[in-house]
Every structure is written in C-alpha cells, then in structure tokens.
Amino acid sequence: MVPLFALPILWLAGYFFPPINHDVGAILDVSGRWIDGQKLYVDVIDENLPLTFIVHALPVLTAKIISTIDVLSEGRFTWGIGVGWCKEEFEAIGTEPFEERGAVTDETIAVCRELWSNENPSFSGKYAEFSNIFFQPLPVQKRIPVWVGGESGPAMRRTARLGDAWYPIGTNPRNRLDTLKRLSDQWVKLRGMAQAAGRNADSVKLAYRFSQFGKDIPERADNGERRLGSGENAAIVSDLRALRELGVIAVDFNFGGNTADAVIANMRRFREDVLAKV
C-alpha cells in the first residue's frame, strides 16, 4: 500500500455510537458510513508522531489499551481526554452514569498513571480498586501526555490539575475562544490555575482546534474582533503564525468532503496553500 502523503499527526476519536446525522469528522461520510480505509491511508511513520485516542471504558482496560498502543507506536501516543456529551451513548455502553463523567475521567487518569508508573500498582477509588497485580506492557513513554479537551470551567480545572496540554475548540458559545485575544486571555487564566494547583505553568501546553475555517465563516466574531481561521488563505497563515507566537504547539482542522477523494483533495490544497507558508 503506497501512502498518499505524509501527515504530522493522526487524530483518532473513539466514538462508540455516534448519533445519526452528527458530524464526527472526516472519517465518516455524510451517511455515517465509514469511508474506505484504503483511500484514507496516509504515511504516519514519523519519529515524533503523536497518536491520539479518546475512549470511555473501564479505567484498567483503558490503561491496558493505551499502554499497548504506546508500545506498538514506539512511544508516540498522546491521550486526548474528553468527558463526553452524548447521554444516549453512555446509556448504550452501560458505563457509569452520565452525570458522573467528570469524576470518572479524573479517576481514570489517576488509575492509568498509577498502572503505568508503579511496579507494584495499587488503587482504591469509587470506580476502580486493585492491588497485588501484574500490569504489562508498560508504556514506552515515562509519562504519556494527556491533552484535555473542553472549554468549560471543569475542563480548564482538569487541565490545570492533571493535563499536559489544553486542547479547546474555538466555537463553544459558553466560552468562545474564536479570537486571538479571547484565547490568549483564557490561556493566561489557565496558566494561573495551574500555578494555583501547585504546578509549573510551563508544564502545561496549548493546542487548538478549528471546527470551521475559510471564506465561508464570518470574518468577525460577535465582539467585533477578527475570527481565527476566517477569510482568505493569507489571513489564515497570519492566524497560525500568531497562534505559534502565543505558544500553541498543534492545531487541528476539520476538512469537508462527501467522499474520501474530496477530503484528501482539500487536505492537499490546505497543506500547499496554507501550511507551507506558515
């Protein structure tokens, strides 16, 4: 199989039961069917490639899955954490109550770090309890990076206490981060929260996700400031340079298209017309 082109990062979102007619990204076509994996095959063999996986499962099982992937990828795994938003999905899986998803997420992170770092791991919590167990394989990375998604107060506090990076999306109406100033202000706030939690603020990194970009979205946010990712390619290049100056270590874009070929064509154009000029 010949790769179509190389990508610096491969993001994989672990939806068990995505709702009908909800856009979960380019991996699904408009009817919700999985796009042909042969057509989407890209070269992800890179020494510093992060692989990101978001999952809601039993904490110990989650730790086993992630450590195994980290070994198979030779230490290139990055764990993207989201507490979830779809109550029906939780009910279908039969996991802990939807209302407890934040506490479950926090405890899952603690369980994983205990299993990954302790030769004789033990844990006693509400959702997991174990001791005197043998856990293998241990991950290649001494600390698998945890990127925390979400823009809410709890998500920011979770990042400040437990995360290695904050990974927000810009268009949450409850905490809009769609302008450079809005993102910068909240980033300063989060760094302060990390310090208040007893951490070195520089140990927490910043990533950013564009749910939309280009000429089809308004160039001004509701406060009159320039909206990140809007307008012509040259403006988006300037946005990406500004985000880099702010300290953003990675950006994530959704690429439209009803077929795999259309998605790939849009990705190629973006790489050539925007990324190559940043």
In angstroms, the CA 263 to CA 272 distance is: 14
Percent of the chain with pLDDT over 70: 79
Give the lowest-confidence range in 82-91, 179-188, 203-212, 231-240: 82-91
Is residue 141's pLDDT more than 90? yes
Mean predicted lDDT score pLDDT of the chain: 81
* Residue of higher predicted confidence among 254 and 54: 254
In angstroms, the CA 252 to CA 25 distance is: 11
Q: Report DSSP letters for 120-151, one per residue.
A: S--EE-SS-EE-S----PPPSSSS--EEEE--
Q: What is the pLDDT of residue 212?
A: 85
pTM: 0.81
* Residue of higher predicted confidence among 28 and 93: 93
Is residue 235's pLDDT more than 60? yes
Confidence of residue 46 (pLDDT cuts 50, 70, 90): very low
DSSP letter (8 states) at residue 227: P
Instruction: Please state, as a whole number, how many other Cβ atoms lie within 10 Å of the Cβ of residue 7.
Output: 15
Sign, CA dihedral 130-132-138-141, equals positive
Average pLDDT, integer, range 160-165: 95
Confidence of residue 76 (pLDDT cuts 50, 70, 90): confident
Beta-strand pair 77-81/51-54: parallel
Is residue 145's pLDDT more than 60? yes
Give the lowest-confidence range in 69-78, 196-205, 227-236: 69-78
Confidence of residue 3 (pLDDT cuts 50, 70, 90): very low
Reference 167, options 145, 139, 198; nearest CA is 145
Average pLDDT, integer, range 152-156: 91
Is residue 70's pLDDT more than 60? yes
Average pLDDT, integer, range 226-232: 95
What is the three-class DSSP state of 249? strand
In angstroms, the CA 20 to CA 32 distance is: 7
17-26, 57-66, 225-234, 261-270, range with greatest mean pLDDT: 225-234
Which residue blocks in the chain are alpha helix, DSSP H?
Answer: 59-72, 87-93, 101-117, 153-162, 180-196, 233-246, 260-273
Is residue 51's pLDDT more than 80? no
Q: Which two tokens stand for residue 110?
A: 């603690």
Is residue 84's pLDDT more than 90? no
Q: What is the pLDDT of residue 261?
A: 83
Q: What is the pLDDT of residue 165?
A: 95
Is residue 1's pLDDT more than 60? no
Instruction: Give the distance between the most distant pair of CA atoms in the chain.
Output: 59
Q: What is the pLDDT of residue 12?
A: 61
